[in-house]
Structure 1
Amino acid sequence: MKLLELLTKLPNVKPRVAKAALKGWENDLLNQIIAAPDRDTSRMRVKIGHGIKFGFRDIDNIFCQKDMAPIEVTPYGAGLVVQLYSKGLLPMTKNQSPGEVPEEVKEYAKTGEKVAEVRMRIRDHADAERIAYREILSRPAEIKPSSFTSKLLNDIFIYHHGLGGGAKSMEIGGAAVTKKVRSFSSNSGNSRDWEVIFSWTDENGAPQELMKPSNYAENRRNDADRNFGLPE
């Protein structure tokens, strides 16, 4: 829904003046960046009134514009505008007060609430999965070799030993696992990628290996017989 369209639907509101007021609050936030360019913008807020404060995320949902298209308001942003309207914080026609919010506007704003609820559930689920996964990484002795993957082993090593190249070893699931990291360069020499090899001996005495190859392993720069003529 276009922002002006939404403001026009709210009884007794002066749409263009209200839009200008919203723009003024956005400018107040932008002025905070100018005054403190090193400050975390996610923590910046502008006080509107009645205890309501807006951050950049809120303003971005009210002024949602792609290219040169008319400014739209997201369902979440519509909910914020309705909140301001109900509190009497938007410019009104003389001697008028907020009226009943049209059902069309209410329904549009509700779709934002539903999306927010779904996102919250997804975020909570992802947080729970992250916590559970870190718990697994913290107990390498309980991880069975049959569940080894390059990603799992790499995450375990990073969890316990941090990042870094060379060779490192640790016991995982009763097996002595060695991680070897080898760096490769692009032909231009401007970027690097790593080959990571995990090796161990299984319970039957057979050697096992998992490898994450480097994207640059086959490049000329990494071959002594073919690396002539490349930039230093």
Structure 2
Amino acid sequence: MASFKERMAAAKDSIVNTYKEAAAEDKAMREAKAAEDKAKREAKAAEEKAKRATLILELTSVKGFLRLYPHFIEWKLGIGVADDVQRILYSEVNSVSMHGSIAPPGGVTATFLSGGMNLLAPKLKSITLNVGGAAHTFEFNLETTDKVREAVDLISRKSFEAKKKPTQALATNAPSAADEIAKLAALRRDGVLTDGEFTKAKARLLGGD
């Protein structure tokens, strides 16, 4: 039978081992979280870089922006944080039109009229997109008329072309299952995840339990 001193030493060793295991587990979790955050930042940066590389035309509106890419349109109508960026396919555009107006002193906008208007007042151009029965109007006071007209022509042409082709999948910010599995594999390779943890996480991504 072990002596009291031996039992105390064994209990102390057990506590120390438990502490070491908890510390190692905590470290592994923090490293996994750091690796995940880094992967997300890198993925987002790569996506933004790719988007910029394929950006066709960008217009800055009075309260947001309008961006045209090869296969979709992206916009923001408000300046608040709650005003999320919207994205649609060209095939979703029902119609697009351009309007011109003159903004007299005081900021009130009036439609172009022959005579009677102050030609020195800033000209306000606008584009109206009709998507699914809803009208979205973008006002531009700094962009040139030619650039606004170019955007309208581009949207009109691409919308017509897109409607003749099968609907293309709209790009999203969500990573694919393959991307997530690749990240998990990297964590397993670095020793952050065990084989069992990797298998369970992979099964969840693929729709398993």
Give your verdict on TM over 0.5. Answer: no
With structure 2 as the length reference, what TM-score do the two structures score? Answer: 0.27
Higher relative contact order at CA 8 Å, sep ≥6: structure 1 or structure 2? 2
- What TM-score, normalized to structure 1? 0.25
